[in-house]
Chain A
């Protein structure tokens, strides 16, 4: 009985949503973890996209959207089911999936069904590899390495650099490789290059001593925040205080239960979105997000907000109409995304390669008094 009511409710919802804009609205669908351990990412993406859709629909724009998010609980199989539900609903363009593993699965479906996808945040290389109609709004993992080296060199944060990375993790090794090659190109000196793996990720005294003895001014930590928190604690114990530089995996260190936030003081990390930025669009977005959801939006929300606006721009440029089928739209979108330049919250002058990878400038953030503050 419960199921029946849920069905009626869902049907009613879809019908009212469908009536709102008639044939003028593009049906935009996405999957993401709305429940479970990764729910923080899925809900952020959904909320960010919803704000963009509401803004556009309230404006005098010709392009209107209908947005539907389905729950995939960060599971590849459920993501495909969610994707099929969206297809039955009549999805014309897709936001892919929020997290990498599920997005790998749905991207393959997008490719075979010829439904264009622009994922806000699935950053793995495998998401876009070999698919001409799947694009990313976030950095692809390895690009973070070269972007970090570029940033360190541009801002003259240090000449002598130590890296501690995790050699059994594809995310960490990918960033490490591109960082090393870019650093060499830019004349940064990597004085210490040390690694760890799952079995010995507790004691970092050797890596830290090596970095300290070789006079590293900056230590680059391409890893998730769990081992990073141990490294920071152990460095503090031996009074070693270089500049610390992290990547987006570092995002989350401040929300760890029981973490002494003073340890992360001064940690710099590269993320595409800075909620403290002073441009009018970011200010409006952050205010609206806080008003509706009671928290400061993270990069997932901003990425997905940008996805909707990028779609709006591409659809307007190609003079697409909402009565076109998914395959026609797909061809138009591929043409637009590989040629257009887009300005969003997460970067200016964004362009996309034929492979679907985005090029944009990352923004530096520093942790001050237990909170993120923009560097630029």
Chain B
């Protein structure tokens, strides 16, 4: 039973990683860039929702919607100002810019909202489903996070597979130059990708802070790094891979903490990652690209 409880803790932690990883993988898959500021957009989303719900007494769904709106806008602005001018630059320059944006967002948040931690209101309630006479408990947040994850994953898969915009995104991902020749507006498509990714970040922020109700300007950065790892683990660029990678990472982390050592849990997680990448360099569900020379 303890084992099962740990498994559920792992799933609940993993589902948070997964929902953040979806945003990472989506942007990487299409724009081919690592948006390290993703974790900080999550933090902004959580703050917006926090102020909407606990200061202005808005209903929860309105708070989430507002957070999504603000983050989408933020994503588009950041993309316009920071990434678009670097479209032709080497990917290293874009990566460094993303890290810069991450610091910028963190420090702006520090100025605006101070470093005092805030306790996030329970937007989905703190209750839990009890099974087997209370020996096993699954919190509502976990259930909602997993459901949201799956729904988002299905929507994204459908969106990229079936809509005109989605097809344009896949085209850009395969070959920007060729896509442009085919009459696709590459810039608009990439902006759209960022808008969607940042909107997802807002949802992830609200769920992250509902599960672990502590909100600070650095809240998003470490889970962001872990989620990035999860995305690589599952195969970066692959949408179902992000979900699988996130869940696995969470479960491994909790099991390592419980059965190996609480001091070494992160070391174990990353050791597993290294082994997986040695055996399958593209990640669990990633597709190996063969380049013709």
Contact = CB atoms under 8 A, between A and B. Distances in A.
Interface string A176-212: 0000000000000000001111111011011101100
Nearest to B139: A237
A258 interface: yes
B214 A206 contact: no
B263 A37 contact: no
Interface string B1-24: 010011001001100000000000
A274 B137 CA distance: 40
A108 interface: no
Contacts of A199: 222, 225-226, 266
Interface residue tally of chain B, by bracket? Answer: 35 or more
B98 interface: no
Contacts of B253: 200, 203
Contacts of A167: 263
A206 B222 contact: no
Nearest to A238: B137
Contacts of A203: 9, 12-13, 212, 253-254
B126 to A, nearest CB: 6
Interface in B221-264: 222-223, 225-226, 253-254, 257-258, 262-263
A206 to B, nearest CB: 4
Contact of B128 (A229, A237, A256): A237
A21 interface: no
A257 interface: yes
A335 interface: no
Interface stretch (B71-79, B110-118, B147-155): B110-118
Contacts of A194: 262
Interface of B: 2, 5-6, 9, 12-13, 50, 54, 114-121, 126, 128, 134, 137, 139, 211-214, 216, 222-223, 225-226, 253-254, 257-258, 262-263, 265-266
Interface residues of A, number: 30
Contact of A230 (B214, B263, B266): B214
A258 B262 contact: no
A237 B225 CA distance: 27
B80 to A, nearest CB: 32
Contacts of A373: none
A237 B126 contact: yes
A118 to B, nearest CB: 29
A60 interface: no
A55 interface: no
A63 B5 CA distance: 66
Contacts, number: 83
B128 A205 contact: no
A206 B257 contact: yes
Contacts of B262: 194-196, 206-207
A233 interface: yes
Contacts of B214: 202, 226-227, 229-230
B9 A256 contact: no
Given A199-B226, A203-B253, 5 more contacts: A167-B263, A197-B266, A202-B214, A206-B6, A237-B139
A279 interface: no
19 contacts: A195-B263, A197-B266, A199-B225, A199-B226, A202-B214, A203-B253, A205-B9, A206-B6, A206-B9, A206-B262, A207-B257, A230-B212, A230-B213, A237-B137, A239-B134, A257-B118, A257-B119, A258-B50, A258-B120
B83 to A, nearest CB: 27
A274 B131 CA distance: 45
B224 to A, nearest CB: 11
A227 B212 CA distance: 10
Nearest to A202: B212
A256 B116 contact: yes
A319 B61 CA distance: 71
